[in-house]
Amino acid sequence: MATGMDQALGMGLVAFAGAIFSYYTIWVIFMPFVDDDHVLQQFFLPRFYAIALPVVAGLIFLTFIGVFVTAVTLAKKKKSK
Question: Do residues 47 and 36 make contact, with C-beta atoms less than 8 angstroms apart?
Answer: no
Backbone angles phi, psi at 3, to 5 degrees: -80, 170
In the predicted structure, residue 60 carries a pLDDT above the cut 90: yes
The amino acid at 66: G
Question: Could you give the dihedral angle defined by the CA atoms of residues 46, 48, 49 and 54, in that order, rounded to the nearest 10 degrees?
Answer: 150
**Do residues 61 and 38 make contact, with C-beta atoms less than 8 angstroms apart?**
no
Q: Using the predicted structure, report yes or no on whether residue 58 has a pLDDT greater than 90.
A: yes
CB-based contacts of 27, cutoff 8 Å, min separation 6: 44, 45, 50
Residues 42-69 have a mean pLDDT of 95
Q: What is the pLDDT of residue 33?
A: 92
Is the confidence at residue 56, as pLDDT, over 90? yes
Report pLDDT digits (tens) over 4-16: 899 999 999 999 9
Instruction: Report, as an integer, the average pLDDT of 49-55.
Output: 94
